[in-house]
C-alpha cells in the first residue's frame, strides 16, 4: 500500500504560522502609541555639573587651585565659568568650599588641600542635583497601568552610577543600589489614578534595559490602580529638593560652548497592566552653566543671554557712554563703584520655541550681594525712591542716595512682560530680584502663551552704594529659567 503524498509547501506554511502565533503569546504586542500632551520636565535647577582636573603647580597645604584649560575624556569643564564662591566641590577625594574665583583657571578653597587631593589631573567635581517634576496630560483611559520616565544616562554603563558627574547623561547617584535604594519616585493621586510608591532603576540593570531598544536611560516607574481617564493632569516627582535622593545632572560634553545649553532627550511612556506600550512622548532637557544664569528648557526651545558692550544705545531710558559697564553672557562686572552714584548694566534675553502653549522666563537671586560671596556684610536689595518696591511691585528709582541693587525691564518684542522701566508715569521703575535665601518665589519677567520666534527683552541692572558700605568685593548669582509648555 502506498503512503499518501505530503504537501511540503503547505506544511511549511502551517509551521511558520504556528511560530508567529507562539511568538504573539510569548511577547505582548505593542499598541500604536499616541502623544501624551503638555509634557514637560521642570528641574529644580538646570545648572550643569562641573568636571575638571587639577593642574600643577597646585600643591597640598595650599588653598590655591589651578585648573586644566584643555578637555579630555569625561572632563570638559575647562574654565571657572560654572563655579561660584560658596560652592561645595570634590577635589581628589576631599570636600572643599570655594572661597574666591581668581580668573578663568584659578580659584581658592577652604580648608587647604589635603595630601592626595592636589596631584596633577586629580578630578574636580561640582555635583548639581535637581529634583525633576514631570507634568503631562493623559491621552488614553487605561485601567491599572503604569507610567515610566526614561532619563538619559551616561553611555558608559560602568560609570553611570558612581556618584560623580557624567559628560553624556545623568548619573543615577545611588552607589549602594540595590542593597539600599535611595532615589525617590512619587506621583499625585487624582481621579482614576491611585499611585503606589515608585521604583527607580539605573541603566545598568536588565529590568531597565528591557524597556527600550536603543540609547541609555535610567528608569523611573509608577504603577496605579483605577480606571484611568483621557486628559487627566499627572505629576511625577523624581528625587528630593535636598539632593540626597536625586540624580546628578551632566557635566559639559566635548562639544559644549559656554552660554549655549547642552540638550538631552527624555521619554515618557504609558503602559497597561500587561506591559503593552500604549502612549509615549519625547521631551527635551537643556542644561547650561550657572554663569550668573541657569535655564530649564523643553523641546525645540532656545534661550540665550547676550552681553551689551561698548555702544551708545539707550536701554531702560539710560544712555550708555564710554564709561558704562560692559556685560557678557555670563557676568555683570560692575567694578569699582562711586559712592551714591548709579552704576547701570544691561543684558539681552532671547527665547524661541515651537511650544503650542508658549513659554515663561523667570528670575531670582541666590542671595543679596555678599562680601566675598558670604552672607554678611552685604549690599541690600533696593527699596527704590519712596517705595518700598517689592519683588512683584515696581516703584520709581532715580535717587542714587537710596542705595541698593535692583533691575528694570525694556520690552523689545515679547508677547507679555511683567513691567517696564517707564510703566505709568516714571523714568526708571525698578524692582528687587526675588531672594531664594529668603525663600521668595522666582518672578516672571516675560512670557508668551503661543509659539515664539526670537522674542526678547532687556534686563537693566542698577547698583548704588553709600559711604557706610564696607570695602571689599561683592557678588551673587542671578538665576534665569526659561520653561516651555507643549
pLDDT one-digit tens code per residue, 12-57: 333 333 333 333 333 333 333 458 999 999 888 889 999 999 999 9
> Is the dihedral angle over the CA atoms 271, 273, 275, 276 positive or is it negative?
negative
d(CA 142, CA 145): 6
> Is the dihedral angle over the CA atoms 16, 22, 27, 28 positive or is it negative?
positive
d(CA 273, CA 268): 16
**pLDDT on residue 299:** 62
| Cis preceding linkage at 57, omega within 30 | yes
**pLDDT on residue 355:** 87
Query: Residue 477's closest CA among 110, 96, 81?
Result: 81
**pLDDT on residue 26:** 32
pLDDT interval class at 212 (50, 70, 90)? low
- What is the rounded average pLDDT of the residues 220-236? 97
DSSP structure class, residue 17: H
In the predicted structure, residue 67 carries a pLDDT above the cut 90 = yes
In the predicted structure, residue 322 carries a pLDDT above the cut 90 = no
For 24-38, 224-238, 300-314, which range has the lowest pLDDT when averaged over its residues?
24-38
DSSP-derived 3-state class of residue 392: coil
Q: What is the mean pLDDT of the chain?
A: 88
Between 401 and 34, residue with greater pLDDT: 401
**pLDDT on residue 33:** 42
Amino acid at each position: 500500500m502506498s503512503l499518501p503524498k505530503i504537501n511540503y509547501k503547505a506544511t511549511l506554511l502551517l509551521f511558520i504560522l504556528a511560530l508567529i502565533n507562539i511568538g504573539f503569546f510569548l511577547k505582548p504586542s505593542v499598541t500604536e502609541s499616541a502623544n501624551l500632551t503638555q509634557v514637560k520636565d521642570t528641574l529644580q535647577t538646570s545648572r550643569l555639573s562641573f568636571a575638571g582636573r587639577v593642574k600643577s603647580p597646585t600643591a597640598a597645604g595650599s588653598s590655591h587651585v589651578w585648573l586644566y584649560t584643555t578637555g579630555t575624556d569625561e572632563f570638559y569643564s575647562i574654565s571657572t565659568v560654572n563655579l561660584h564662591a560658596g560652592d561645595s566641590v570634590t577635589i581628589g577625594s576631599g570636600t572643599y568650599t570655594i572661597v574666591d574665583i581668581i580668573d578663568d583657571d584659578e580659584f581658592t578653597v577652604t580648608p587647604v588641600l589635603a595630601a592626595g587631593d592636589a596631584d596633577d589631573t586629580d578630578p574636580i567635581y561640582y555635583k548639581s542635583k535637581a529634583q525633576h517634576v514631570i507634568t503631562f496630560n493623559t491621552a488614553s483611559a487605561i485601567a491599572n497601568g503604569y507610567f515610566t520616565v526614561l532619563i538619559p544616562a551616561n553611555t558608559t554603563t560602568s560609570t553611570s552610577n558612581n556618584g560623580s558627574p557624567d559628560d553624556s547623561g545623568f548619573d543615577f547617584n545611588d552607589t549602594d543600589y540595590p542593597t539600599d535604594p535611595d532615589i525617590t519616585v512619587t506621583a499625585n493621586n487624582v481621579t482614576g489614578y491611585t499611585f503606589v510608591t515608585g521604583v527607580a532603576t539605573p541603566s545598568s540593570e536588565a529590568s531597565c534595559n528591557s524597556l527600550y531598544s536603543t540609547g541609555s536611560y535610567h528608569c523611573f516607574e509608577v504603577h496605579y490602580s483605577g480606571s484611568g481617564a483621557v486628559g487627566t493632569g499627572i505629576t511625577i516627582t523624581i528625587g528630593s529638593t535636598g539632593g540626597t535622593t536625586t540624580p546628578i545632572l551632566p557635566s559639559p560634553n566635548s562639544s559644549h560652548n559656554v552660554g549655549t545649553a547642552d540638550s538631552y532627550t527624555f521619554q515618557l511612556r504609558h503602559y497597561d497592566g500587561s506591559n503593552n506600550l500604549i502612549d509615549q512622548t519625547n521631551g527635551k532637557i537643556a542644561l547650561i552653566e550657572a554663569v550668573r544664569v541657569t535655564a530649564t528648557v523643553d523641546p525645540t526651545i532656545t534661550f540665550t543671554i547676550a552681553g551689551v558692550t561698548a555702544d551708545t544705545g539707550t536701554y531702560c531710558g539710560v544712555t550708555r557712554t564710554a564709561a558704562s559697564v560692559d556685560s557678557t553672557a555670563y557676568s555683570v562686572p560692575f567694578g569699582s563703584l562711586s559712592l551714591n552714584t548709579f552704576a547701570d548694566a544691561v543684558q539681552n534675553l532671547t527665547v524661541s520655541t515651537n511650544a503650542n502653549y508658549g513659554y515663561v522666563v523667570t528670575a531670582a537671586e541666590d542671595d543679596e550681594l555678599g562680601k566675598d560671596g558670604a552672607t554678611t556684610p552685604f549690599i541690600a536689595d533696593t527699596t527704590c525712591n519712596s517705595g518700598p518696591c517689592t519683588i512683584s511691585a515696581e516703584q520709581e528709582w532715580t535717587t542714587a542716595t537710596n542705595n541698593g541693587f535692583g533691575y528694570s525691564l525694556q520690552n523689545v518684542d515679547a508677547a507679555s512682560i511683567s513691567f517696564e522701566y517707564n510703566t505709568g508715569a516714571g523714568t526708571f521703575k525698578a524692582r528687587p530680584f526675588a531672594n531664594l535665601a529668603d525663600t521668595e518665589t522666582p518672578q516672571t519677567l516675560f512670557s508668551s502663551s503661543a509659539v515664539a520666534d526670537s522674542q526678547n527683552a532687556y534686563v537693566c541692572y542698577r547698583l548704588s552704594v553709600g559711604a557706610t558700605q564696607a570695602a571689599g568685593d561683592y557678588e551673587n548669582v542671578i538665576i534665569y529659567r526659561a520653561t516651555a509648555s507643549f
